Amino acid sequence: MHRFRFMILLATLILVIFVGPVTDLALPRRYPVLTQVALAAVLVSMLCAAVFAVSDDRKKAWFAVSLALPAVLLQAFDSVIDHEGLLAATSVADILFLSYVIVVVVRHLFAETEVTSNVICAAICVYLLHGIAWADVYSLIDIAENGSFSFSLLDKEAASSAMAESQADAPEIKFMRLRGRTAIYPVYFSFVTMTTLGYGDIIPRTSLARALISLQAVTGQLYLAVLIARLVALHIVHSTSGENENTNKLPST
């Protein structure tokens, strides 16, 4: 079971990306709490899968649990309590835990000496974890300074849906919050930034947001460049050693 740990983590990460749009289509919009509960459940499953993925020994397991437990509890509370302070604490806990998981998995990748399906899944997991962690960062930025992002091309249907979720006495629409139906926006923006697509439908308005977006774009591209070089080098070394072994086994004439 443990050898499939990165495949399990990859499956939960894909669920995190798609749970927002799927629940938005499947669940009635007049019950936003259902969307939030579904999102929280998938996020908690992802956190548990991440703990399982990095628990190579007892020390790592306990440290991962100590970081994941606050994130899991805060996710559970955030699913039923709509408070920006609680959402900010949840984002901080998620960022700390996901950062630890990324470091552990990257170290595992560079310790491997052969390219296997498990290594490839681990590499993809790091990339997706990177994107989700940055989605938490953008949510935290917008909580600290509301209006850090502008939505120039947002359609009216999405705006009315988000407005229905907002409090009646709050005129601004808080799209960059990683909860409920608005969770799709920070996740979408994070991956669009990391892949340097830059559609222009979400635009940073503050200097801090612009600086962090630039940092994510650079680190995302550097990770891909270094990772591909590492995997190609491992594949060449393994293929060459295999050919040498086969050559040595040939009978002499």
Kindly state the tokens that stand for 108: 């595992």
Nearest of 151, 137, 156 to residue 204 by alpha carbon? 151
Contact 161, 181 (CB under 8 A): yes
Per-residue pLDDT tens digits for 236-253: 877 776 555 555 554 555
- End-to-end distance of the chain based on CA atoms, in angstroms? 48
Contact 42, 76 (CB under 8 A): no
Rounded Cα–Cα distance for residues 83 and 203 (Å): 25
- Residue 111, exposed/middle/buried by CB under 10 A (0-12, 13-18, 19+)? exposed
Per-residue pLDDT band for 194 (boundaries 50, 70, 90) equals very high
- Angle, to 10 degrees, between the axis of helix 207-249 and the axis of helix 117-144? 170
Round the average pLDDT of the chain to a whole number and report it.
82
Average pLDDT over residues 101-111: 91
Average pLDDT over residues 122-151: 91
CA 81 to chain centre: 23
pTM: 0.83
Per-residue pLDDT tens digits for 218-235: 999 999 888 888 888 887
Per DSSP, the three-state class of 174 is coil
